[in-house]
Amino acid sequence: MYTGYCAFSGCYSQNPATIQGQKFAQYMNDATINPFSGRLEQSTSFTATASYLHYWSPEWRSAFFGSYGEMSYGSGARLAQGAAFALANNTGGNSFGVNGVGVPGTRFFQLSEALRDTYQFVAGGSIIWSPVKDLDIGVEGFYTQIGVKNSRVIDRDKSPTAYANVAGINNGTFVPRTTTADSVSTFRFRVQRDF
């Protein structure tokens, strides 16, 4: 959150789930515990932002902004979580594991969204009219795209039953639809009075 990498619906969640309208969950954990060493493996993130505000006249102004960020986990974070689940549960690769990581080596593990490195692109703008002091009336909009940095993940919009068919995914009898990115656009009309 301190690096500016947040879900489009807010910075309060570690895992913005599909209930917020995304095709896949985007994990935003500060660190994961390596179950074999007991040590915390910190994640890394960064965001670069640019913005521009222009006054066309004393009453009219517009703003434009954009940002790009990435969230990355330790190289073995996913593998360690999945391997620990497989050892503890002796599932034979038919279960999805801790936080949905899956058992390493299975098709579900390859398509799991859990602890996957992601990127985020945001662009937006606004135009505001201030007819009197401390009153703003305007429209604002922004576009957000999130995506996985490598491979593909299960598209929960197109394959809503995938997490109930983990065994089918692993043995090839259920082939889920996959995706690499999702996006959302948000627009609003704003009336703001400052006192």
Q: Which of 46, 24, 63 is nearest to 179 (CA)?
A: 24
**Hey, where are the domains in the chain?**
18-193
pTM of the model: 0.81
Asked whether the beta carbons of 174 and 162 are under 8 A apart, the reply is yes
Q: Is the Cα dihedral 96, 100, 104, 105 positive or negative? A: positive
Highest mean pLDDT, choosing among 51-60, 75-84, 111-120:
51-60
Q: So what's the pLDDT on residue 93?
A: 45
Phi/psi of residue 107, nearest 5 degrees: -65, -40
Helix (H) or strand (E) holding 77: helix 77-89
Q: Give the chain's mean pLDDT.
A: 84
Higher pLDDT pick, 7 / 72: 72
The neighbouring-strand residues paired with 140 are: 126, 188
Asked whether the beta carbons of 102 and 83 are under 8 A apart, the reply is no
Neighbours of 123 (CB within 10 A): 16
**pLDDT tens across 30-45, in order?**
888 888 888 888 889 9
